[in-house]
Amino acid sequence: MKMIMAIVSGDDSSAVSAALTKARYSVTKLATTGGFLMSGNTTFLIGVNDDQVQDVIDIIAKHSKKRKQMVPNNSFDVGMYSAFPVEVTVGGATVFVMNVEHFEKV
């Protein structure tokens, strides 16, 4: 058995959740915040059998796309505060797959 932990952009959260539920996977959603852009994310916890891991990853990948976004560049330049926007890649998903030693529902 495996535990999949997937960190997904808040913009993609609903689509990922709906697709996983439609495929009959049990999903736990946690509201989280990223450290770099300080933007909302959703962390999904999904327990699956070993042979279901790739299917879950494929569903997450299909519904969480990377995109470009302009964000303020909060840096100090020559003693003055500068907020010139810079383009960054956002979205996509970060997926961890972990072994589960023991599982039971009580």
Write out pLDDT tens, residues 41-72.
Answer: 899 999 999 999 999 999 999 999 877 766 66
Q: Compute the average pLDDT of residues 31-35.
A: 76
Res 88: pLDDT: 67
- Give the residue among 42, 16, 19, 15 at the shortest CA–CA distance from 29: 42
Identify the band that residue 40 occupies on the pLDDT scale cut at 50, 70 and 90: confident
3-class DSSP assignment, residue 53: helix
Average model confidence (pLDDT) across the chain: 85
Residue 44 near residue 21 (C-beta atoms within 8 A): no
Res 70: pLDDT: 66
For residue 93, pLDDT beyond 60: yes
The tokens for 73 are 């560049």
Rounded to an integer, what distance in angstroms lies between the CA atom of residue 12 and that of residue 99?
26
Rg (CA), the chain: 17
Cross-strand pairs, 70: 87
Return all residues near 52 (Cβ < 8 A) that are at least 6 apart.
25
Q: What structural domains and CATH numbers belong to the chain?
A: 2-99 (3.30.70.120)
